[in-house]
Amino acid sequence: MRDLKIPGERHPEKAHRPDNPQPKKPDWIRVRAPGGQGYAETRRIMRDNNLTTVCEEAGCPNVGECWSAGHATMMIMGEVCTRGCTFCNVATGRPDALDVFEPGRVADAVQKLGLNHVVITSVDRDDLDDGGAEHFAQTIRALRHRAPDTTIEILTPDFLKCGPEALETVVAAKPDVFNHNLETVPALYPSVRPGARYFHSLRLLQRVKEIDPSIFTKSGIMVGLGEGRSEVHQVMDDMRSANIDFLTIGQYLQPTPKHHAVDRFVTPDEFKSYEKAAWGKGFLMVSATPLTRSSYHAGEDFARLRDAREKSLARA
Ligand code: SF4
């Protein structure tokens, strides 16, 4: 594989793509501008620990709000991905070797931030035999050691090119929530997520539950990429068939003109309708708003669910 990174050019691998003009965002997509003391402190801890965040790499619109509250989603295993998904702002190319000290630095940062709940994600590492499974497991173990009261959510790649032991390695480390995003409806995979397989991703989450039913599973999609309403409902049904517990649905925002075009902005009322349908299908947690992202308010959502479960156990 060629190393496509060129100094000074952030996303050279997307240079061959046609320009898709970025449409003006509607009024309902309003975000807090980054800044303030909390934001600066989160940024300092990330820099001091030499950590990469998906908040910055993906150009997440919620970074002002999340970082002000000390919530950053760390992205392990480098900042170069082996896949070329057309919605994603992370650079594609040949990644560096794994940094064996990274799990310790992640744990240190989480301890300093004093997080009740942390979300850890990664780039895709098709260049590694285990897809980075052992590195995920080491990160979870380091977090358990340094921040034992913090609940851990991982947002993983699909381990498509690995044997079954890769997933088993990650599950054996016992994250509290195992998240893997389906990202879009199956018909759009060839144009949005060309290196992935919809039913493989679904089966990955189903297997997590089969291996360890005590782990919550979570997945999400973006809307506004060109999907139909009935296709979104079918994805929800597929997710419930795979025993997925939590669902997130958010508006796709186009990072640059070289990325997949926004087909349309889904209205807040349509999001409410998706949310209502999802609760009806039996998800334990649903977040469906224009600004919903996998890790947006993930800690609050998880704490609410855990409280509800404890109350219901106490009543039983
Ligand atoms: S929603 Fe997630 S990715 Fe976006 S800023 Fe918040 S923590 Fe980071």
| 8 assigned to some structural domain | no
| 1 assigned to some structural domain | no
Dump pLDDT digits (tens) for 227-239: 999 999 999 999 9
Statement: residue 172 has pLDDT above 60: yes
| 15 assigned to some structural domain | no
| 25 assigned to some structural domain | no
| 27 assigned to some structural domain | no
What is the extent of the structural domain holding 54? 35-315
Mutate to test the pocket of ligand 1, among 63, 117, 252 (most ligand atoms within 8 A of CB): 63
| 311 assigned to some structural domain | yes
Residues with CB under 6 A from ligand 1: 54-55, 60, 62-63, 66, 71-73, 293, 295-296
What is the tally of structural domains in the chain?
Answer: 1
CA of 278 to the centre of ligand 1 (A): 22
Residue 59: CATH number of its domain: 3.20.20.70
Dump pLDDT digits (tens) for 86-133: 999 999 999 999 999 999 999 999 999 999 999 999 999 999 999 999
Say what the pLDDT of residue 14 is.
63
Higher-confidence residue of 305 and 48: namely: 48
| 108 assigned to some structural domain | yes
Residue 85 labeled ligand binder: yes
Residue 162 labeled ligand binder: no
Give me the percent of the chain exceeding a pLDDT of 90.
82
Contacts of 12 (CB under 8 A, 6+ apart): 4, 5, 6, 91
Say what the pLDDT of residue 16 is.
64
| 62 assigned to some structural domain | yes
Statement: residue 4 has pLDDT above 60: no
Statement: residue 206 has pLDDT above 90: yes
Statement: residue 186 has pLDDT above 80: yes
Dump pLDDT digits (tens) for 65-85: 999 998 999 999 999 999 999
The whole-angstrom separation of Cα 143 and Cα 109 is 10
Q: What is the pTM (predicted TM-score) of this model?
A: 0.92
The whole-angstrom separation of Cα 20 and Cα 212 is 43
Q: Please state, in angstroms and as integers, the Cα–Cα distance from residue 316 to each residue in 215, 305, 310, 311, 313, following that order.
A: 21, 17, 10, 9, 5
- Which residue's C-alpha comes closest to atom 1 of ligand 1? 296
